[in-house]
Amino acid sequence: MPYQTVKGTYDLLPDTMIRFNMLSDLFRQFLNLYGYGEIKTPVFEFTGVFQKENDTSDMVTKEMYTFSPNGKDSLTLRPEGTAGVIRSFVENKLYGVNELPVKLGYIEEMFRHERPQKGRQRQFTQMGVECIGDKDPLIDAEVIALGYFFIKTIGLQGVKVLINSLGDSESRLGYRKALEDYFGPHKEELCFDCQNRLHKNPLRILDCKIDSGKELVKQAPKMVLSEASAEYFEKVKHYLDVLGIPYEVDDRLVRGLDYYTDTVFEVVSTNEASGSQATIFGGGRYDDLVKEMGGPQISGIGFAIGVERLMILCEAEEIFDIKKTLDCYIINLNDDKDYALAVAEELRNNSFSVEMDYYKRSLKAQFKSSERKNARFVLIIGEDEVRDDVVTVKDTLTKAQETVARNELTDRLDQLMEDYYE
């Protein structure tokens, strides 16, 4: 085959796009229900938007598609949505013109140079939200609620919410020190990357793909939250209880990106169809990202859902398994196509989806097409119909057939649809 998709990328063909669009439509409804506006940021940004000094995450240090088209600027295809949205929030001074918190949602493609496998691509789509402004446990719970109830509305089974608190900077400083002291004498037992992480960001060792299974890491000390962070976390859990969201506290959940503070969470699937990539979505609070991007000291919280992982689960659970349908298929039995063409356009002007035969094939072949296309009505146009200015309508559900005057056709089709569903 001369040309193929690049490894880790894929085509979304029309049948799959039906499910993709249904998920996108539902997500947009949820954005609306919770007061979020939709935002689109550029696919590529200056590399510095994603890469901060001392960044230790795999995503930033190993997986970014970075290029320099002019040999001067360093640009990067966005590996995630949060950084670009915060760049936009700061650049457009959204905090100055809007009431806080500013609530933004997105459905966008992301790019990471990861090892592809089921549920892990190099180009993938995230549906995400960022709620930027006030820091309040109620907001944390509401953001988790948006994602959780979206997933529940889809109807997925076996969904689990994991939450944890990484604490405020005071708690984290103490924890970093405790981890450095603990891992320091065992440095040689850690992988090459974790040896580097030890002094830059020892928390990262806890979710290292290589080291996290080792007994040394499993026995590592646990985070001790400051009084303020502990109280904050208790309130988040309280509001989740009020909302009726079941959760498990997972004190090993640290998330793969460096900007998180206090609340972090993931929603995982227990359905074996998701394979090793069970995390449907993840997110958390970030106290310092807006400031780091040049804005005021404003906190934010958000999450992103991996759409491809959702699609795998929906397919396994036969959710949104819908075939394309057509309102009318026109069978034309005349050499002259003018009449059929005009009828098709009249119907489309009245919001009926219509396809017609282009080639004057046999009646049988045209009927076959109407079946393949799932047409609700087959409209037959022969010499008699053109002469009498009528159309023969066959209802594929009731199997009834009748002749209808052309100027009454749309009303009659509406009527037949209504009658059927009454």
The site for ligand HAM (CB under 6 A) is made up of 80-82, 112, 114, 119-121, 124, 126, 128, 130, 256-257, 279-284, 302-304, 306, 308-309
Q: Whole-angstrom Cα distance, residue 217 to residue 189?
A: 10
55 vs 355, which CB is nearer to ligand HAM?
55
Q: Whole-angstrom Cα distance, residue 420 to residue 351?
A: 19
Minimum separation from the CB atom of position 262 to ligand HAM (A): 12
Q: Whole-angstrom Cα distance, residue 261 to residue 363?
A: 67
Q: Whole-angstrom Cα distance, residue 42 to residue 111?
A: 13
Minimum separation from the CB atom of position 315 to ligand HAM (A): 15
| Element housing 18 (H / E) | helix 14-33
* Nearest-CB residue for ligand HAM: 306
113 vs 361, which CB is nearer to ligand HAM?
113
Minimum separation from the CB atom of position 395 to ligand HAM (A): 44
Minimum separation from the CB atom of position 11 to ligand HAM (A): 16
Minimum separation from the CB atom of position 243 to ligand HAM (A): 19
CA separation (Å) from 278 to 62, 122, 310, 376?
22, 17, 10, 40
- Residues 6 or more apart whose CB falls under 8 angstroms from that of 199 comprise 180
295 vs 306, which CB is nearer to ligand HAM?
306
Please return the burial class of 335, using the count of CB atoms within 10 Å of its CB with bins 0-12, 13-18 and 19+.
exposed
Please return the burial class of 33, using the count of CB atoms within 10 Å of its CB with bins 0-12, 13-18 and 19+.
exposed
233 vs 265, which CB is nearer to ligand HAM?
265
Minimum separation from the CB atom of position 32 to ligand HAM (A): 19
| Element housing 200 (H / E) | helix 192-200
31 vs 280, which CB is nearer to ligand HAM?
280
82 vs 165, which CB is nearer to ligand HAM?
82
